[in-house]
Amino acid sequence: MSQLLDIIGSFITGATIILVIMNLNFQITTSQRENFFNSISQTEVVNFASVVENDIYKIGFQPSTSNIITAATSNTIQFYADIDNDTTAEQIYYTIGDTSSLSGTPNPHDRPVYRRVGTGSLNLVGTAYSLDIAYYDSIGNQLQYASLSSQSARNRIKKISFNYVFESPYPVDGNYQKVQWKKSFNPRNLN
Partner 1 sequence: MQQLLVIGALIILGSLVLTFNRSTQNVNANNYFNTAVIDATASGQSIIESIQTKAFDEQTVLSAVTSAGDLTGVGSLGPDAGESNPLQFDDIDDYDNYTEVDTFQQFGNFSVSVQVNYVQKYSPETISSTPTFIKKIDVTVTNSYLVQPLTLSRIISY
Residues lying near partner 1 in the complex (CB under 8 A): 10, 13, 17, 20-21, 24, 27-28, 31, 34-35, 38-39, 41-42, 45-46, 49, 139-141, 158-159, 161, 165, 178-186, 191
Distance CA 72, CA 153 (A): 10
In the complex, least distance from residue 69 CB atom to partner 1, rounded to whole angstroms? 17
Query: Which residues lie across from 166 on neighbouring strands?
Result: 179
In the complex, least distance from residue 138 CB atom to partner 1, rounded to whole angstroms? 9
Instruction: Could you list the beta-strand ranges (E) of the chain.
Output: 69-72, 76-81, 90-96, 111-117, 123-128, 130-136, 159-167, 178-185
In the complex with partner 1, which residue's Cβ is closer, 52 or 96?
52
DSSP string, 145-158: TGGGGSHHHHTT--
In the complex, least distance from residue 164 CB atom to partner 1, rounded to whole angstroms? 10
In the complex with partner 1, which residue's Cβ is closer, 28 or 124?
28
Contact criterion met (CB below 8 Å) for 185 and 162: yes
In the complex, least distance from residue 108 CB atom to partner 1, rounded to whole angstroms? 18
In the complex with partner 1, which residue's Cβ is closer, 35 or 88?
35
